[in-house]
């Protein structure tokens, strides 16, 4: 069997290429949950597309990510995979898909690659998931780690609060990140920590750090697509930047459509089959 890539296949960003970007060029990552937005992110040159369990909040309307199931992530990953030609595609391991046993975690990660079409999986946690990271990478499943404020522990934190301000939690996050990288993680998402900790992790880890609310010194940044697009006119996390106000635009478009229908202006002759 030939192992060469067909010449017309689009170049995919591999985990090896992502690792090589450390200290060389910043990584740009974005979440996506459907094919249309995945296509747009890919065409815009985003390096990494994550089907995050944030879909629970952005798509399903939950207050946190805990209700998201493995089926949900497989479903959305399958859709996103059809829109991503170049970016590396990561799927999130949702709450309770890996916490109860190594076997659960291995099967869940396998499904995200086999049925979802993901190229790697993201797992929240530090030292407690290091054994799982080791097993997955041994079986050929690349792992992006996720440390700092890990949203699946929202109830443990008492809310989505910045982590790593106190000495003990700073040490726990640092030790956890070192453990998962030692176990084979190819990159580490660092969420909602003080800038100094983001910088320390970036200096200490030999793989790229991808920050979200972790300051400017990380090797890359990730944001939730809905925040970048300003889809929610009433909410913007402090660490995010809105590059558009699509929420307002969408609402105005829906209102204009409703007005046209109600006043008989839609459909016109051009929009009607004769």
Could you list the active site residues? Answer: 191
Helix, strand, or coil here: 137? helix
For residues 78 and 249, which CB has a smaller minimum distance to ligand KIV in the complex?
A: 78
- The residue ranges that bind ligand KIV (CB under 6 A) are 31, 50, 52-54, 92, 189, 191, 212, 222, 224
- Distance, in Å, from the CA atom of 83 to the CA atom of 238, rounded to the nearest integer, reads 29
Shortest distance, position 53 Cβ to ligand KIV, whole Å:
5
Shortest distance, position 80 Cβ to ligand KIV, whole Å:
12
∠ Cα 174 177 180 (to 5°) = 150
Residue in this structure with the two tokens 């017309």, named with its chain if needed:
8
Residue nearest to ligand KIV (CB): 52
Shortest distance, position 54 Cβ to ligand KIV, whole Å:
3
Burial state string for 175-201 with b = 16 or more CB within 10 A and e = fewer than 16: ebbbbbbebbbbbbbbbbbbeebbbbb
- Distance, in Å, from the CA atom of 193 to the CA atom of 195, rounded to the nearest integer, reads 6
- Distance, in Å, from the CA atom of 68 to the CA atom of 96, rounded to the nearest integer, reads 9
- Distance, in Å, from the CA atom of 82 to the CA atom of 78, rounded to the nearest integer, reads 7
Shortest distance, position 234 Cβ to ligand KIV, whole Å:
19
Q: Give the alpha-carbon dihedral of 70, 75, 76, 79, to 10 degrees.
A: 150
Q: Which two tokens stand for residue 158?
A: 């008492």
- Distance, in Å, from the CA atom of 29 to the CA atom of 232, rounded to the nearest integer, reads 20
For residues 66 and 249, which CB has a smaller minimum distance to ligand KIV in the complex?
A: 66
Shortest distance, position 232 Cβ to ligand KIV, whole Å:
15
Residue in this structure with the two tokens 């990140």, named with its chain if needed:
177
Q: Which two tokens stand for residue 22?
A: 């450390």
For residues 15 and 224, which CB has a smaller minimum distance to ligand KIV in the complex?
A: 224
Shortest distance, position 131 Cβ to ligand KIV, whole Å:
21
Using alpha carbons, select from 116, 121, 114, 65 the residue that is nearest to residue 91: 121
Using alpha carbons, select from 90, 35, 94, 91 the residue that is nearest to residue 64: 94
For residues 197 and 222, which CB has a smaller minimum distance to ligand KIV in the complex?
A: 222
């Amino acid at each position: 069997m030939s192992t060469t890539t067909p010449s017309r296949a689009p170049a995919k960003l591999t985990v090896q290429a992502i690792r090589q970007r450390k200290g060389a060029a910043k990584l740009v990552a974005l979440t996506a949950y459907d094919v249309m937005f995945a296509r747009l992110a890919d065409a815009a040159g985003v390096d990494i597309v994550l089907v995050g369990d944030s879909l629970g909040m952005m798509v399903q309307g939950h207050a946190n990510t805990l209700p998201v199931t493995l089926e949900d992530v497989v479903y959305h990953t399958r859709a996103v995979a059809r829109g991503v030609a170049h970016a590396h595609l990561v799927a999130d391991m949702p709450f309770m898909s890996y916490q109860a046993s190594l076997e659960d975690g291995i099967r869940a990660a396998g499904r995200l690659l086999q049925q979802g079409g993901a190229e790697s999986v993201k797992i929240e946690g530090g030292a407690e998931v290091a054994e799982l990271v080791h097993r997955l990478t041994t079986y050929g499943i690349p792992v992006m780690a996720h440390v700092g404020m890990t949203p699946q522990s929202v109830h443990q934190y008492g809310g989505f609060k910045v982590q790593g301000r106190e000495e003990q939690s700073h040490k726990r996050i640092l030790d956890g990140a070192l453990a998962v990288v030692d176990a084979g993680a190819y990159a580490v998402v660092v969420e909602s920590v003080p800038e100094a900790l983001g910088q320390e992790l970036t200096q200490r880890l030999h793989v790229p750090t991808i920050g979200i609310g972790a300051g400017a010194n990380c090797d890359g940044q990730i944001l939730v697509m809905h925040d970048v697009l300003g889809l929610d006119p009433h909410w913007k996390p402090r660490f995010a930047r809105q590059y558009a106000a699509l929420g307002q635009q969408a609402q105005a478009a829906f209102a204009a459509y409703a007005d046209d229908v109600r006043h008989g202006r839609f459909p016109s002759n051009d929009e009607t089959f004769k």
